[in-house]
Amino acid sequence: MAEFLGSPLAEVVILLALAAALVAVGIYVIGRVRADIHRKEPPASEWLTNFKELHAQGELSDEEYRTIKAMLAERFEQEINSTDERR
> How does pLDDT run across 7-23, given as a tens digit for each residue?
888 889 999 999 999 99
Separation CA 73–CA 66 (nearest Å): 10
Is residue 27 over pLDDT 80?
yes
CA dihedral in degrees (81, 84, 85, 87; nearest 10)? 170
Question: For residues 39 and 66, which has the higher predicted lDDT (pLDDT)?
Answer: 66
Q: What is the pLDDT of residues 49-76, one digit of tens each?
A: 999 999 999 999 999 999 999 988 888 8
